[in-house]
């Protein structure tokens, strides 16, 4: 793994997903104008039909009414973005067959964006939140004072801290992300600190430059979540090696494996890969692998 196994990417990262679930569970988002039932948990965004070259969707939450909340964090406002969200939601519905609400949360540099796509038989709408109207610098100072005074953070305080990098500020989103992590590190409750930093990583990973990703790694180096990410990275490294071995075996049997199957193989955990390895000679055609992916 890179950088001593410290990988801060949220994609396919159980620690980050757990952090997002913990910090958003049972919380209302009405403060930001998002009127949906309370969040129950986060759902891994594994959509088999997404092309290998496509970006992943950000986060999928299961709501109290059994519907889904598709939440995207954006630093751009291109028409291509909403087209991509439509593709994601189509695949989400195909997989789960649940009502989907898509909310796009824009960074403090964006004041307007396309919210509707009319392609004839399909009219697609997303809800939008523009964090430019929230004074990130003021909120930072308020949170800093509260944490220094060892006062208990409210649910809104915690969400404001997580959304801080995307709020309006004299600083860049990159700088605010580092400031938010440093602020979260001062929280005394170890679990609360860990999950808030994890959620900050999940939201910030998409827009951070490589320079600031390295700064973020430095900022979390001695924290509990850094150790958790390192341990998870080691486990992922073991799974990656197992996946490579199985792919080689399958190529010997079938000569060529579709790129989508190769990609999905790398997404499996070590237990599922072990099961494929045990049954490798029972796989008569490449499509037999689908049952392992569908159970993932």
> What is the C-alpha separation between 194 and 16, in angstroms, rounded?
10
Contacts of 19 (CB under 8 A, 6+ apart): 194, 195, 196, 197, 198, 199, 201, 202, 225
Position 133 scores a pLDDT of 92
What is the reported pLDDT for 122? 93
**Is residue 118 scored above 90 in pLDDT?**
yes
Per-residue pLDDT of 25-69, as tens digits, reads 888 788 888 889 988 888 876 654 444 344 556 789 999 999 999
Predicted confidence at residue 50, as pLDDT, reads 41
Cα–Cα distance between 17 and 42 in angstroms, integer? 7
Per-residue pLDDT tens for 127-179?
Answer: 999 999 999 999 999 999 999 999 999 999 999 999 999 999 999 999 999 99
Q: How far apart are the first and last CA of the chain?
A: 23
Rounded average pLDDT over 90-112: 91
1 pLDDT tier (thresholds 50, 70, 90) = very low
> 100-122 in b/e burial notation, b at 16+ Cβ within 10 A?
ebbbbbbbbbbeebeeeeeeeee
The structural domains of the chain, with segments of one domain joined by +, span: 14-222, 229-294
Q: Please answer whether residues 136 and 157 qualify as being in contact, where contact means their C-beta atoms are separated by less than 8 angstroms.
A: no
Q: Which residues pair with 117 in a beta bridge?
A: 124
- Kindly state the average pLDDT of the residues 108-123: 92
Distance (Å, whole) CA 220 – CA 225? 7
Contacts of 131 (CB under 8 A, 6+ apart): 32, 105, 106, 107, 108, 163, 166, 167, 168
């Amino acid at each position: 793994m890179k950088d001593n196994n410290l990988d801060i990417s949220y994609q396919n990262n159980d620690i980050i997903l757990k952090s997002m679930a913990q910090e958003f569970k049972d919380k209302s988002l009405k403060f930001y104008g998002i009127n949906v039932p309370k969040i129950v948990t986060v759902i891994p965004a594994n959509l088999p039909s997404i092309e290998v070259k496509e970006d992943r969707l950000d986060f999928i939450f299961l709501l109290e009414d059994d519907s889904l909340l598709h939440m995207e964090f954006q630093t751009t406002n291109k028409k291509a973005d909403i087209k991509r969200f439509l593709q994601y939601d189509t695949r989400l519905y195909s997989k789960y067959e649940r009502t989907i609400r898509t909310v796009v949360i824009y960074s403090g540099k964006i004041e307007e964006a396309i919210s509707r796509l009319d392609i004839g038989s399909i009219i697609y709408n997303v809800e939008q939140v523009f964090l430019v109207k929230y004074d990130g610098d003021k909120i930072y100072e308020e949170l800093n004072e509260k944490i220094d005074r060892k006062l208990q953070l409210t649910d809104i305080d915690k969400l404001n801290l997580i959304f801080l990098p995307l709020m309006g500020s004299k600083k860049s989103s990159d700088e605010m992300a580092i400031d938010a992590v440093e602020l979260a590190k001062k929280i005394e409750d170890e679990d609360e600190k860990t999950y808030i930093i994890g959620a900050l990583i999940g939201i910030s990973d998409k827009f951070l430059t490589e320079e600031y990703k390295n700064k973020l790694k430095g900022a979390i180096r001695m924290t509990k979540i850094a150790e958790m990410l390192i341990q998870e990275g080691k486990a992922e490294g073991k799974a990656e090696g197992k996946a490579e071995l199985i792919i080689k075996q399958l190529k010997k049997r079938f000569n060529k494996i579709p790129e989508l199957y190769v990609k999905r193989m790398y997404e499996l955990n070590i237990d599922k890969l072990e099961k494929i390895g045990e049954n490798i000679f029972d796989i008569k055609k490449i499509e037999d692998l689908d049952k392992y992916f569908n159970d993932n």
